Amino acid sequence: MKMLSFNARGVGERAKRRVIRELVTQNQVEVLCIQETKIQRVDRRICSQLWGDSNFEWKAVQAINRGGGLVTVWNSSSFTIEECVEGRGFLGLIGTWKKSQQKCVLVNVYSPCDMAGKRALWSDLRAWRGTCQELAWCVAGDFNAVRDEEERRGVVGVSTSQRIEMQEFNAFIADMDLVDLPLAGRKFTWRRPNNQASSRIDRFLVSEEWCVRWPNCSQLALHRDVSDHCPLLLR
């Protein structure tokens, strides 16, 4: 089981799609979660250029006015889906890993930046989680939030609103019964272009059921190249 999550900041450029395809191929990725596609029509041709061969299926939430957008692509020999759920800032799949016959929920997240949008996203995912408690869950993507002050660099002090956001994000993770796996490779996943600020806003969150099935799973931050975010590999 290998998954790649990446806020690519747009997949309209052929050169960027080539870099993502190389990541998929080199790391033998079985599920690819892209945030911020920034294109209004993701189609099979684009997904093929992201994936590298024809053995895949895909689902997408199209960008609005070149803003946002999510796409999940998966190896159709490894994973099969039964249901797709779209919500405010997320694209979810209920399916089965064929090799282990493990049924699970995979969620690709691109959280809004504003607090009201984050609360709406967290509320929607909490409600859905309540209907699928028995399944293994993996929630991946750009959460646009940090868990504590140590996950930010280049920021002086923490405002009241930032502290509330951290508290509510941690409460969301606890309510979802998710585990925040240690991050290897580097400490931060996003960097401002001038390198004066960094944060860990991208991550994989998995349920206890997921950890039981894959007890040695870990997440690795890969080299930052075509985006201000690092690609993350769950393996």
- Is the domain spanning 3-234 CATH 3.60.10.10? The answer is yes
Using the predicted structure, report yes or no on whether residue 157 has a pLDDT greater than 80: no
Predicted structure pTM score: 0.96
DSSP conformation class of 194:
T
Q: What are the sequence ranges of the domains in the chain?
A: 3-234
In degrees, rounded to 5, the angle at the alpha carbon of residue 55 between the alpha carbons of residues 203 and 46 is 65
**Range 23-56 burial, b when 16+ CB lie within 10 A, else e:** bbeebebbbbbbbbbbbeebeeebbbebbbeeeb
pLDDT in tens, 3-55: 999 999 999 999 999 999 999 999 999 999 999 999 999 999 999 999 999 99
